[in-house]
Amino acid sequence: MTDRSASADWHGDARTGSGSISVGNGVFEGPFSAQSRFGEDPGTNPEQLIAAGLAGCYTMALSNLLGVAGHTPKRLRTTANVQLRFVDGNAMLARIDLNTEGEVDGLDQDGFAEYARQAKVACPVSRALAGIPEITLAAQLAQAASATSGQ
């Protein structure tokens, strides 16, 4: 398999300092600070990058499962919301909400939801994040696809 990398550069103390995060040979680079992480200042933060990684990995896993079963999706869109909370005075990733929507011919809502659940188990990033206390999943088959599924 392949190795992937990212790096972070930081200047100053944790509360007032700032830095930048770089992903894969400069494919993405963004500033981050305590205020972009714990507040609403512009910039990125580790939790956004975890959310992006999970959304991408999960969507590819779902696409693979659907395709292998003969239901190649027309479109899949997944968002991941990572919640950073303080528990006993320590910051922790407390919850992730995954929301996926798909246009897939030949499936009803229950069938799509089952593939979505399987993808959550199959996704390597989901498995890496298994220590997070709660990871929810909402899967919705788009109306256009369900209208052509023969219901």
Q: Which domain holds residue 19?
A: 1-44
Q: What pLDDT was estimated at residue 65?
A: 98
Q: What pLDDT was estimated at residue 24?
A: 86
Both 73 and 142 in one domain: the answer is yes
Binned average pLDDT, 10 residues per bin, the chain of 151 residues: 89 95 89 92 93 97 98 97 92 95 95 97 95 94 55 37
Both 26 and 52 in one domain: the answer is no
Q: What pLDDT was estimated at residue 2?
A: 83
Q: How many domains does the chain have?
A: 2
Both 53 and 35 in one domain: the answer is no
Q: What pLDDT was estimated at residue 128?
A: 95
Both 21 and 49 in one domain: the answer is no
Both 26 and 51 in one domain: the answer is no
CATH number of the domain bearing residue 127:
3.30.300.20
Geometric angle at alpha carbon 38, from 32 and 41, rounded to 5°:
55
What are the DSSP calls for 82-124, one per residue?
EEEEEETTEEEEEEEEEEEEEE-TT--HHHHHHHHHHHHHH-H
Q: What pLDDT was estimated at residue 25?
A: 80
pTM score, two decimals? 0.88
CA gap 64, 74 in Å, rounded: 13
Q: What pLDDT was estimated at residue 26?
A: 80
